[in-house]
Structure 1
Amino acid sequence: TMHSVEWDKAHKLTDDFYLTKHWCDFQDFRSDLKFNLIYFDAFGPDKQPELWTEAMFANIASMTAPGGILTTYSAKGSVRRALQAAGFWVERLPGPPGKRQMIRATYQGV
């Protein structure tokens, strides 16, 4: 499972899918790679507001391939607006058990 793989090492899951978990402060993370999928599982905007800003999502957008997807359990309006301002097309989807909605954001490559 993804929880048991080593940090900072690419793990081939299929011919077209590699998983790398990075051990760092996410606010300092930079990469020249363009990611196709980002699972944004930070604590919520009320607990870690610095991770849910337009500037943070703009940084994420700079590392996201056009058409790349960011998904998060937070469906707050402020999160939706920050993602949209960073160039993502945002939709709310039914959430997992115990969560009414979640967000899927597709980077438009702006």
Structure 2
Amino acid sequence: TFQKISPHFSLLKQQKMFKDITDTNTHHLIYFDAFGPRVQPNLWTESVFKIMFDALMPSGVLVTYSAKGSVRRAMQAVGFTVEKLPGPPGKREMLRASKGL
């Protein structure tokens, strides 16, 4: 369901298995807040990032609190342009992955 935040901004929260995501060029932003690669390594693979890459619109962005090198490399391998950013309080760094920039 969509949650309207303001006249020009709404959120769509979905609970799905990655294998069930078929969206293509649909989303502006993905906030990926899974448990880290050490706890859930199956969620930090090239195949999962490819699904998210495909689901994003051109110029779409994926952000995550994980800044691990293997995560960055998996994102880059599927076509993302990846930047390290300062993290929020309690996190040193985070990643922003852009599609088509």
TM-score normalised according to structure 2 size: 0.90
Counterpart in 1 of 2:17? 25
Task: Give 3-state SS (helix, strand or coil) of 1:81's partner.
Answer: helix
RMSD, aligned CA = 1.5
Unaligned runs of 5+ in 1: 1-8
Compute the displacement of 1:14 (Å).
2.3
Counterpart in 2 of 1:4? none
CA distance in 2, matches of 1:89, 1:32: 18
Q: Which runs of 4+ in 1 moved over 4 A?
A: none
* Correspondences of 1:8-47 after superposition (within 5 Å): 9-32=1-24, 34-47=26-39
Q: State whether residues 27 and 51 of structure 1, in contact with CA within 8 Å, keep that contact through their aligned partners in structure 2.
A: no
Compute the displacement of 1:33 (Å).
5.5
CA distance in 1, matches of 2:57, 2:25: 9
Q: How high is the sequence identity, in percent, across the aligned residues? A: 52
Unaligned runs of 5+ in 2: none
Distance 1:67 1:79, change over 3 A: same
Counterpart in 2 of 1:70? 62
CA distance in 2, matches of 1:13, 1:92: 28
Give the number of the structure with larger relative contact order, counting CA–CA contacts within 8 Å between residues 6 or more apart. Answer: 2
Q: Look up the equivalent residue of 2:26 and give its one-letter code.
A: K
Compute the displacement of 1:98 (Å).
1.2
* Correspondences of 1:54-93 after superposition (within 5 Å): 54-93=46-85
Compute the displacement of 1:21 (Å).
1.0
What are the Cα deviations for residues 25-81 of structure 1, in whole angstroms up to 9, with x where unaligned? 244323246111100000001111111001110111111111111000000000000
Query: Aligned pair 1:107/2:96, yes or no?
Result: no
